Amino acid sequence: MLATAHTRVIPLAIPAGFVFLGEGFFLAAGLLLVLHPEALPVPRHPWGLAVAHLFLLGLGVGVLLGAMHQLLPVVLEAPLFRPEWGYPVMALWALGVVLLASGFAWVPPLVPWGGGLVLAALLFFAYHTYLTFRQAPRWNRVATALAWVVFYLILTPLLGLFQALSQRYGFYDPERLTWHLLAGLGGVFLLSILGVGYKLLSMFTLTHGVDERVLGLFLWAANLGLLGLAMGERLGYVLLLVAYALALYDTRRILKNRLKKALDIGVRHYLLGLFFLGLSLVALPFNPVWAALWFALGFVGLVVTGMLYKILPFLVWTHRYAPRAGKEKVPLLKEMLPEGAGYGAGALLATGALLLPFFPWAGWVYLAGALPHVYALWEVMRR
């Protein structure tokens, strides 16, 4: 079935809805983080699991789903099959996150229900993505990265739901939690940020014609590295280091060939996130808890918040002001965001993430950074 013309218009409420629901989960995760610092050093602490799912599944996946509704048509050069399908995905995902976090923190029987709703949402999104992929006139390595991300978006809740049910029916194995973590942290966020981020970084810096073959090598190294770690092979860790080196090399090439010489707020956050990714990889063999904190709060947190400073103003300006441009006075795109608040938020988030493995009070610094971040995005919506 061919997509009709109306499917090319993506309502602002879909990506913005995912973003601001994610921001609510972000604030909730930060609040629980400072109220329950005792959960930090304990890998399977109930409050820690609630924080992790609010932050990664709430903020991280929420922003990813919202962004992919806009990014898929750009990468695939084809319209979304049915943009309105984003609404049920959003509803199922948001309710699932609430039930999961509540289950981990207060009512354990809610965990499989929340996981089931999240899985249903992501299966629906994957089906929509598949139908959109079928319309693509050509294929590239960024599309391959997106396909891998969708695969891990399904695999991660499947593994998590299996863990929840296995605990209920007596065949629970705590070691299987590693598979869930690798699929979520590595498969979803590593590949989406460094794979899809390749496209965003090129767009934000006005870089054209960069060879995508390095991105293809990165995808091989990252996927084989995750598989190796899941099987307990040291070679997996080495391959992840290779993937990181390839990502740094690709980033350097993009920045070297950019037409836009000044590095804006989104790119600066991206580079700082790469620093935290390196820290987490170095720490991984020695202290996995430190590695997870630096990966989630530093790498994922800084890149996601930074990219929102670019994505949301563009979406709001395009939907609200683009039809009126040239006919009346409209704000410039760079005037949409209060950059001072964004940079202040980034400094606090980076400081909190860096210090949290050593000082539990640094969670308050991280939470303080979330406030000007949310304020900056709210101002974008008001303008």
Is pLDDT above 80 for 2?
no
pLDDT of residue 168: 72
In contact, 100 and 118? CB cutoff 8 Å = yes
pLDDT of residue 5: 35
pTM of the prediction?
Answer: 0.94
- 19-33, 105-119, 326-340 — which one is most confidently predicted on average? 19-33
Between 219-223, 246-250, 258-262, 282-286, the lowest mean confidence (pLDDT) is in 258-262
On the 0-12 / 13-18 / 19+ scale of CB atoms within 10 A, 4 is exposed
Q: Using one digit for the tens of pLDDT, what is the confidence trace for 216-245?
A: 999 999 999 999 999 999 999 999 999 999
Contacts of 232 (CB under 8 A, 6+ apart): none
Q: Using one digit for the tens of pLDDT, what is the confidence trace for 293-306?
A: 999 999 999 999 99
pLDDT of residue 6: 36
Is pLDDT above 50 for 4?
no
Could you tell me which of 74, 78, 94, 97 has the C-alpha nearest to residue 86?
Answer: 94
pLDDT-based confidence at residue 8 (cuts at 50, 70, 90): low
Residue 179 tokens read as 């598979």
Q: Using one digit for the tens of pLDDT, what is the confidence trace for 193-202?
A: 998 887 889 8
- 68-72, 125-129, 160-164 — which one is most confidently predicted on average? 125-129
Mean pLDDT computed over every residue of the chain: 92
CA dihedral sign, ordered 333, 339, 341, 344: positive
Is pLDDT above 60 for 44?
yes
